[in-house]
Chains A and B, each alone.
Chain A
Amino acid sequence: MSAPRSLLEPARYLSRAEAEALAKRVLALATADATRVTLQGGSRGNTRFALNQISTAGDDFNTTVTVRSLFGKRSANVTTNKLDDAGLRYAVETSERLAKLAPEDPEEMGELDPQQYAESRSWSDATASLDPAARADAVRAITQATSAAGLHGTGYLETNAGSFAVANSKGLFAYARGTGAALTTTVRTPDGNGSGWAGAAHNDWSRLRPAELGARAIEKARRSANPVAIEPGRYTVVLEPTAVGNLVQNMGFALNARNADEGRSFFSKQGGGNKIGMKIVDERVTIVSDPLDPEAPANTFNNEGLPTARTVWIENGVVRNLAYDRFWAQKMGKQPLPFVASLSMSGGTATIEELIASTQRGILVTRFWYIRQVDPRVLLVTGLTRDGTFLIENGKITNAVKNLRFNESPIFMLNNVEAMGRPVRVSASESGSPGVAVVVPPLKVRDFNFTSLSDAV
């Protein structure tokens, strides 16, 4: 086992050797034509705080084994977390029984031969060794400041350390370990009239600055008190990187060639086919996934054991790639191109302050909330601003404004770019868990479509 992290037990995730041994135990039990074993798990530490004190804290760990059994073109999967001999045998037997009963899948592609993989860059010892007492210290760096300021500090710190492995009966074996950390805080005025948020996420805990996040949220909470109402409508907006991440990450899941070719995606082309090669957004926009980027690392293989590599989805505004699964790639005469669980967007050099200073009248948005798809045909989503929304007049922040609901598409937004700042890693997941790596710039965008006001603070 590896470096210590918990109070009482060593770090609890499977090392490469342990994963390989466990996969071999499962494969030795298998009698199917082909078998795949996926191992996933590790430890998660979590500490929540509310009203300036820790409300709950816990550690949990789990490891799951998924067995995929294949007979001809019939397959099934069984997942278990019971890793003794009886538990594994039950999983293999059930998977094989279900597979034999399943109808043939004409799209079955079989298991992959052994592949070569780059070493994953997702691990950080600083994250893996953060224990509950250290988490409490980090939380206290925020709650002491909020308490001293007469405000209510609320928030969440989560770290995880785990591994992921894929093995199959043809000899393929892929292994990666990774860590993640996220710290987010919402600071509110006791009368409920002001609310400010700050948050950060990284694979490496040492890159997070708890006291700095607390100070930023405190400043926003104070400035956001007693907001004024403005008319909904189209506004120039300065979006902080988190707000950009909230919207742009929604595009990631639509980058699917099959849905596009089938005519049921934004990336479908009228008359048939898809938009690869077509310009869809501003030429300054490039969106890339690179599993080896240290700022936005991701697994170097997918759950079939297919290697992932740097992939340019959008280059200078033009769609360069869409993800192809193995079946669709074969059918369309393409190479398979897996999704990569990270996203990096190009940017510029402006600071947030410069974006604000260049704006005559606009709205500064800290983050967005409850974003849900309204129309998949244009990736239209709705949601609201939250925890720090301000009016910009003549290059300066003049007032806190009430929160606003928008109905907007990241595609339209990226066609209306006025200026871009320097990209940074953000905590863009709605839940405050580490999630996938998202690196995006702050943006100044014109004609952002706000459709109604909210009384929510």
Chain B
Amino acid sequence: MTDRREFLRHGSLAAAALWTGACASGAPATVPAPTRTPQPTRPTDVEVPTRELMMRALDAARDAGAGYADVRIGRYRNNFIVTREQQIINVVDTDSIGCGVRALVDGTWGFGATRTLTADAVAAAAREAVAIAKASRIARDRPVEMAPTEVHRNVTWKSSYEIDPWTVPIEQKVDLLLRANAEALKVPNVKYVFSVMYFVKEDRHFASTEGSLIDQTLIRSWVPMQITAVAPDFSDFQNRSSVVQPAGRGYEYVLAQDIVGNAPKWAEEAAAKLKAKPVEVGKYDLILHPSHLWLTIHESIGHPTELDRALGYEANYAGTSFLAPPEKMLGKLKYGPEFMNVQGDRSQPGACATIGYDDEGVKPEDFLIVKNGIFNDYQTTREQANWLKWWYDQQNVTPRSHGCSNGDSWASIQFQRMPNVSLLPGERDIGWEEIIADTDRGIAIVGDGSFSIDQQRYNAQFGGQVFHEIRGGKIVGMLKDVAYQMRTPDFWNAMDMIGGRRSYELGASFFDGKGQPPQINAVSHGCPPARFRQINVINTGRKA
């Protein structure tokens, strides 16, 4: 599931009042390169002897009885600038640093974490992890076994960004947002604009008792915007959001989105929705743009192919999966047409889940989740890879983690999280326009909207942002109150046309939620536009 409600809620006052605190949801233009300003160096950058502390934690875990332990020291930073219309609502910098230790004792996990980065404190966290593992031992009957991995000694990795957003002056960021807001507000009936710049920077350090020692840095950037048009008589209002996708890139990505140049178009779409025709209920051919289809992929392919879900480990929250049991599904289930190939990876430059090494020290590999339309593999960690030994034996492959372990902070227990899961483009060099031209009666949907799916990922309902009515291969007008309902295998088997490489784009979420305590995960999904035949469309308009 993905959850941006907390973040995008305008009255973030509500969230801020909670006990647990608020957590928080075009064509490139020529923009002058930003000037960089020197920043005060935070003392912790140089003062924390990360490696010594990690070794100390591992020693303490071993001394206390751990058979295996890993330690993560991480610094997690966020920078937000939040605006509405011509005002700044908030400028926020957050910075969290700490140490988490995971210990395996007699086949049972324990975890301890501390924000105090001293030798004594990290050793205490390690001993606590061991103590919790021992205390939890009474409630286990099958020991954890980890698949082997290569040891990576003294390796480093950095994500693909050109401009570190922390070096860009706040005035430049604010100026860009307020100019985009002003452009949107020039459009008749557009009354409100909410816009945000949201940056993430993570410095992650990892060490394990097996000898891996890894340092990584990554940056992610996003510009959430919501443009609201209000009818003059207050009888209706319409929003246009989901205009810029999150990305695993730096400030250069924000500039390339040209939010000032595109704001009028997005605002006109919000205003046009006030006059759009309510959709007639029925079956339509749907043409889904990558800015929309990524979320459908996320919910109906990304989540059901998580192995822990399929085997029941997430039953109490995220749910299980229709792709179970694995022995009845792998190599057998026809997910979609033969031209459907879905890849799991953590390697695409600019994608949100891309990383050099996962939170168990595994170097992730690219793998096919759906191969020529047939379900081929699940997402795994070291603990999980052995569960599919029978399947990998059939392929003559040694069981190995796909590198999907992730914890959302130093205080979180790492577990299986979604890599980038992408629908690979087709062989024909076609795109959005060609698919529309080939469609007689349908609806083309741009941008992600409302989304909901059941706990086994069968029955889903998706809205969108802009709904174009297609007749005779042409866009003839705009529709509103559109949502489609689907059953996952039927939906993907109804796909009959996809775009080629040039039409492939990445969509993403910063807030994929899973696990208890709930953790977030940033993940991208690449896809071309695609067409789905005869999908059930409902009208969601109701009057109070």
Contacts and interface: CB of A to CB of B under 8 A. Distances in A.
B19 A436 contact: yes
B451 A372 contact: yes
B394 interface: no
The 4 closest A-B pairs by CB, nearest first: A58-B111, A456-B456, A454-B459, A456-B454
Nearest to B102: A58
A284 to B, nearest CB: 19
Interface in B223-256: 228, 230-231, 233-237, 239
Interface stretch (A14-22, A82-90, A354-362): A82-90
Contacts of A266: 544
Given A7-B128, A7-B135, A252-B14, 11 more contacts: A50-B315, A57-B132, A154-B316, A263-B230, A270-B233, A325-B11, A373-B450, A386-B319, A405-B459, A456-B322, A456-B456
B138 A140 contact: yes
A252 B131 CA distance: 41
B169 A77 contact: no
Interface in B85-143: 87-98, 100, 108-115, 124, 127-129, 131-133, 135-136, 138-142
Interface stretch (B36-44, B210-218, B350-358): B36-44
A136 B131 CA distance: 12
Interface in A60-114: 60-64, 75-82, 86-87, 90-91, 93-95, 97-99, 101-103, 105-107
B90 A77 contact: yes
A438 B382 CA distance: 39
A302 B316 CA distance: 32
A398 interface: no
A370 B19 contact: no
Interface stretch (B149-157, B430-438, B480-488): B480-488
Given A101-B169, A158-B517, A405-B452, A456 B9 contact: no
A59 interface: yes
A292 interface: no
B135 A341 contact: no
B518 interface: yes
Interface string A327-353: 000000000001111000000000000
B320 interface: yes
B92 A78 contact: yes
A448 interface: no
Interface stretch (A28-36, A237-245, A425-433, A439-447): A425-433
Which of A264, A409, A433 has most chain B Cβ within 10 Å?
A264
B236 to A, nearest CB: 7
Contact of B413 (A53, A58, A87, A197): A58
A127 interface: no
Contact of A384 (B14, B115, B136, B452): B452
B235 A56 contact: no
Interface residues of B, number: 113
Interface of B: 1, 3, 5, 9-11, 13-14, 16-22, 40, 42-44, 47, 87-98, 100, 108-115, 124, 127-129, 131-133, 135-136, 138-142, 169-171, 174, 178, 191-192, 228, 230-231, 233-237, 239, 311-317, 319-320, 322, 324, 411-413, 415, 450-459, 461, 463, 481, 483, 485, 487, 513, 516-518, 536, 538, 540-544
A90 B40 contact: yes
Interface stretch (A39-47, A204-212, A313-321): A39-47
Given A133-B135, A375-B481, A454 B44 contact: no
Contacts of A325: 11, 13
Given A155-B316, A272-B234, A58 B110 contact: yes
B141 A52 contact: yes
A175 interface: no
A451 interface: yes
Interface residues of A, number: 135
B459 A81 contact: no
A411 B389 CA distance: 52
A152 B9 contact: no
A50 to B, nearest CB: 4
20 contacts: A8-B131, A9-B128, A46-B516, A53-B141, A59-B111, A60-B113, A61-B115, A63-B115, A132-B135, A252-B14, A268-B234, A269-B234, A280-B544, A323-B13, A370-B455, A374-B483, A378-B544, A382-B450, A435-B18, A456-B459
Nearest to A101: B170
B19 A407 contact: no
B132 A370 contact: no
Interface in A137-177: 139-140, 143, 152, 154-156, 158, 160, 162, 164
A369 B316 CA distance: 11
A278 B399 CA distance: 64
A81 B77 CA distance: 11
Given A378-B542, A382-B450, A382-B452, A253 B14 contact: yes
Nearest to A89: B43
A225 to B, nearest CB: 15
Nearest to B454: A456
B516 A78 contact: no
Contact of B109 (A55, A403, A433): A55
A98 B14 contact: no
Nearest to A385: B454
Nearest to A40: B21
A7 B133 CA distance: 12
Contacts of B517: 44, 46, 158, 431, 433
Contacts of B516: 46, 48, 156, 158, 431-433
A81 B95 contact: yes
Contacts of B110: 57-58, 132
B544 A431 contact: no
